[in-house]
Structure 1
Amino acid sequence: MQAPVHRFSDLFAQLGLANDAASIEAFLLSHSPLPDTLRLEEAPCWNAAQAALLCEELRADADWAELVDQLNAALR
């Protein structure tokens, strides 16, 4: 069985955010850089459900974990 393939824009959709290229760029520009000491899911830009999703996907090393890592890097 093949692992699901998700795109960066799919993560934004999963988080309930606009996921077109311009919206993603605007989000990243308006919320970065995050301090190195702040965990991604603790950033003030997330609501409780979004933070929980990010935390759970990383903890479970789920399909989305690689994209969550990319989001973390993009916000640094």
Structure 2
Amino acid sequence: MDTTPQDLSHLFEQLGIDNSEDNIDKFIASKQIPANVLICQAEFWSESQKSFLREAIEEDAQWSELIDQLDALIRK
């Protein structure tokens, strides 16, 4: 059983992105995507990040709720 805490900080860590609160705020402010683009298709992700996001969503994995939260935060 995975006991990793489930919050945006840990999602960013999982994605290999600086997970400081300041960086998360900057990321959200600078990485807005239009409504017609899936979060896993956004141009700013690496291929491995896109794969992680896509698989987590498709499998309704433990990260899917946080990905949905991030998705809502980065919409234009």
TM (normalized to structure 2)?
Answer: 0.91
- Structure 1's 65 and 41: CA in aligned 2 closer, same or farther, altered over 3 A? same
Task: Give the structure 2 partner of residue 20 of structure 1.
Answer: 20
List, as ranges, runs of 4+ consecutive aligned residues in structure 1 with deviation greater than 3 Å. none
Deviations 1:34-62 (A, max 9, x none): 11001111101100000000000000001
Counterpart of 1:54?
Answer: 53
Matched, 1:38 2:37: yes
Unpaired runs of at least 5, structure 2: none
Q: Equivalent residue for 2:66?
A: 67
Larger RCO: 1 or 2 (CA < 8 Å, sep 6+): 1
Aligned match of 1:11: 11
Structure 1: distance between partners of 2:57 and 2:63: 8
> Is contact 1:41-1:55 (8 Å) kept?
yes
Shift of 1:8: 1.1
Q: Following the alignment from structure 2 to structure 1, what is the Cα–Cα distance between the partners of residues 13 and 20?
A: 9
Q: Which runs of 5+ in 1 are unaligned?
A: none
Letter aligned with residue 22 of structure 1: D
Count of residue correspondences: 75
RMSD over equivalenced CA pairs, Å: 1.7
